[in-house]
Amino acid sequence: MTSIFDGIITSKTRINILMRLFLNPDQQAYLRELSREFSASPSVIKEELSNLSESGLLNQKRNGRQILYRANTKHPLFPELHSMVRKALGMEQILDSIISRLGSLKLALLIDDYAEGRDTGIIDLVLVGEVDRENLQDLVEKTERYINRKIRYLVLSESEYQNMKENLEKRPNIVLWQEAKS
């Protein structure tokens, strides 16, 4: 995957770790989990995790014999890195297109793999509100070409969302946009 980090950060493994942990800072990961996910040796992953931890970008927490890693949201660069990851994955373009042109959107959720910070090439969205579905399909097709990823979406009315809310909250999710309460 080509990203805005290419050229700035020369280690693909470091880019993958940043993308994984900074998209959804509530997620955490183990060394072996990242090694399997990125098809990289544990020693390469460990070196990058150590470097990122030493720089203060990652927090570590021991859980038995394993160490959990997660983004350090208190680091001064966190807001910028979080924003860069969202831009690299095309989240900003998706949101801008959807919010400005779809009607009465109440809530936009990113769910599953991308909410966990895994770039699988398929972005899953849940959109709540009165949405112009024909316009949505057109926007999705254009955005998919632009970001070179597949977008799957589920459009729900507010009552449908309330019925599914408990199940959706059990899945990895990030609130991408929510209508301001008046």
CA distance 129 to 103: 8
Lowest mean pLDDT among 46-55, 82-91, 164-173: 82-91
Rounded Cα distance between 140 and 138, Å, is 5
Residues 6 or more apart whose CB falls under 8 angstroms from that of 11 comprise 48
Residue 181 DSSP label: P
Domains of the chain: 12-83 (1.10.10.10), 89-178 (3.30.460.10)
The predicted pLDDT at position 10 comes to 54
Task: Tell me the mean pLDDT in the region 31-58.
Answer: 92
pLDDT in tens, 76-134: 999 989 888 877 776 666 666 666 677 788 998 999 988 887 888 899 999 999 988 88
CA 164, CA 111: separation in Å to the nearest integer? 13
Q: Residue 14, SS3?
A: helix
Residue range 48-72: average pLDDT?
94
Q: How far is CA 137 from the centre of its chain?
A: 22
**Residue 70 pLDDT:** 95
